[in-house]
Structures are given as C-alpha cells and as structure tokens.
Amino acid sequence: MDEPVLLTGAGGRVGQAILRGIGDDYEWRLLDREPLPAAKVPAGVTDADRYVADITDERAVREAVADVGAVIHLAGDPRKTAPWDSVLRNNIDGAQVVMRAAAEAGVERFAFASSNHAVGGYETEDRTPDLYRPDDDYRLDGTELPRPGNLYGVSKAAGESLGRFYHDEFGMSVVCVRIGNLTRDHPPREYERGQAMWLSHRDCAHLFDRCLRADYDYEVVYGISNNDRRYYSLERAREALGYDPADNSADYTFEGKPKDDGDSDTDGEYVDDPDVTTDDTPAEPNFPTDPDAPSDGA
C-alpha cells in the first residue's frame, strides 16, 4: 500500500501490538487523545504524522484521514463496565465521525475493532463452561446477529452496523474484527474463557496486516489465535483475509507456561471472568483505571 495508514487509538494495547509487529511495513499516521511517548512510535513517523485529538473532533479527524489509503479504528472507551454516556460519545459517536470522514475522503479499506463483547450474550449458562473446551463443537462464525453482553458490547455492535452502512452507501471496504483476549507472551493464565479466545500479539499484528492487504467488501471476522479451545470460527478470516494464525493456547499449560519447557498440561476448572487484566501492559491511558479492566476485548 503506497498511501499512509491512519491508526486511531495508537497508544492502546491493540495499537501497540500492531505497531510492534508491522510498524516498519507501512507509512503511519497515529491518532490518540494523549501525546504518544517516543517508545510507542515507530521509527520514521514524524511529528506531523502524530495527531493528538479526540475522535469526536470532526475537523481534526478529517485532517488526519485526508489522503490515507486505509484506517484501522481502535480508539474508544475500552472498559467493559463503561457507562452509557461514555460508550455513546467515545465508541458510537466516535466511530461515526471516523467512518464518515474516511468514506467522504475516499478511503479504500477500513478495519474496525469490534469485540467479543458484541456477542457475549451467546455464552449462556447452559453452554458454559463446556463452550470453552476443545471437545465442544459450538461455533460462532460472524454470520450470527450481535448479542451484546454489556453496554460496551452494544457500542461495538453499533460500530459494526455503521460499517455496513458506509460500505453499502460509499463502497468502502469494511472489516469488523471481533477481538478476543489479547495478551503478550502467553495466553491468560488459569482462565478457560480467555484461553478459548486468546489472541497473541504476533497474530494480532498479522491479522490487521491482512486487513490492510486483502480485497474484501463487508466482513465480520473473529480475532483470535489458532486455539484448540475456541468457540469462534476462523474460517471467514482465513477465506476473506488470508489470515494464518501461528499461535495456539494449547501449546501452553493451563498455568500459562510453554509446554516445551517440560510442564504437563491440565484442563483446569472454569473460573469466572477475573476482575484484573491478564496483560502486563498498563491500563489504557485515555480513560481512568477500571478494576474490571477489559483483558478480553478491544
């Protein structure tokens, strides 16, 4: 791709996983609500390509999106316990501003960071915990309707609908990635749900690289690694994008240690969604620290 790529929410966990993985492969414009420290910015990104702005600032977003070839939109309130006024402003209004600016600017590809929380309501009491185990064949494949598990999930479902609208009305290629549980170096420890929807940093960068390179119309895909434990299908991501994930939570013990270190595996027991992040990166810088920080969504 010859044109720049605009990455919103560049300082967050997903943005940093992308930039660490493919930061040298594209010309970037980075947008975040806070100035990014040098350690979070790839070499070659000039001050002129860094935008400090709120995504509801229409003028700033139009400036940032001018003449780019693609947008990866991550910015928003990532807390699964975020109140309605915040998800409305930051996640729904913000997505609308960015998508409209991109469509009107003639952007070719738009990758929207949706979330597993857009379909969290499918995890019913009669399906869990078996749903999270390798021998269960239940799969969500992206063709199902959203079934949010919280207001954060509602906002992501709304973003998917906005993407459908801007594809149909403007012909912009839009892919909505329902991101699972992103952690670095190992899958979530002693947490079946997290291991079923694990997305490694390496696979995250590869997936969004495919979002920038593939030809597609409107797609909803799942962003997880190639886990034996999974209830999200990877078929559409493979077929539409050419996604080929390298990592698998089954290569680690239930305690999160690589099996090739000589540790034996254990299935472990189902545990409730922990109230702490399983990632060792700091909380999102743009919003207050939340004791129920989202370890399992974008």
What phi and psi values does residue 62 have, to the nearest 5 degrees?
-60, -40
Output the CA–CA distances (angstroms, integers) from residue 75 to 98, 246, 260, in the order listed: 10, 26, 37
The reply to whether 257 sits in an annotated binding site is: no
Number of Cβ within 10 Å of residue 223's Cβ equals 30
Q: Is 152 a catalytic residue?
A: yes
DSSP one-letter string for 135-194: T----B-S-SPP--SSHHHHHHHHHHHHHHHHHHHH--EEEEEEE-EEESSSPPTT-HHH
Element (H, E) at 114: strand 109-115
The reply to whether 156 sits in an annotated binding site is: yes
Rounded Cα gap, residues 161 and 104, in angstroms: 17
Rounded Cα gap, residues 294 and 273, in angstroms: 10
Catalytic one of 26, 51, 132, 152: 152
The reply to whether 152 sits in an annotated binding site is: yes
The reply to whether 90 sits in an annotated binding site is: yes
The length of the chain, given as a count of residues: 298
Binding residues for NAD(+): 90, 115, 152, 156
Q: Which residues are catalytic?
A: 152
